[in-house]
Structure 1
């Protein structure tokens, strides 16, 4: 059985999120998804997610492509998560290309192309710029 692991914040869930999750799942038999904790997202982006951590977990858990979900507390623990969940392959969006190559000694690493013209950051900017 091929076990795939991927990570993301999955804030304001959109088609790009669904695409990468479904494409990651297609690479194996079992998909594990690490959802970034609110505090981790703040450390990465200097802002908290729009959607609450519990809601983001519930959305990811509800997807039929996903077999297991957990909270990613720290970027520095990625190797521990890969080992803990016995992942054979780490899948990330190609915006992270090269950043996780050092894990190739413990699993395969695949970078998938992002869905063009969509990102949570862009969605947030569009919403903020709207005049109501």
Structure 2
């Protein structure tokens, strides 16, 4: 049974999130998801998520096919998370192509295509336009 690990903020859940989680799960028998902490999200995007890290973790854990969820506190700890959760495959969206190749010595690294035409950032912009 292959163990898959992936990471994300998963704020304002949308079909793109569901699809990448489904495709990641289809690669193995166990899916572990690292959910970016509020502080990590702020450091990456200069904004806090709409939903708190605890709410986002609860939402992701409730999705069929997700076996384990943890809080990701630092991008620099990805290798440690891969080791801790005994991952065989790291799955990331293709907007990160090449960024995590350094972990190929620890596990396979796959970059899956994002769902075209949808992003959390764009959803937030659209929602703000209606307010």
Identify whether the pair has TM-score above 0.5, normalized to the shorter chain. yes
- 1:1-132 matches, within 5 Å, as 1-130=1-130, 132=131
* Cα distance in 2 between the residues matched to 1:96 and 1:53: 22
Tell me the CA shift for residue 113 of structure 1: 0.3
**RMSD (Å) for aligned C-alpha atoms:** 0.6
Counterpart-to-counterpart distance in 2, 1:7 and 1:109: 12
- For 2:118 and 2:65, how far apart are their aligned partners in 1? 21
Q: Which moved more, 1:79-88 or 1:55-64?
A: 55-64
Q: Secondary structure at the match of 1:58?
A: helix
Displacement over 4 Å in runs of 4+: none
TM-score of the two chains, using structure 2 as the length reference: 0.98
Structure 1 residue ranges without an equivalent (≥5): none
Structure 2 unaligned regions, length at least 5: none
SS in 1 for 2:99: coil
TM-score normalised by the chain length of structure 1: 0.98
Task: Give the CA deviation at 1:64.
Answer: 1.3
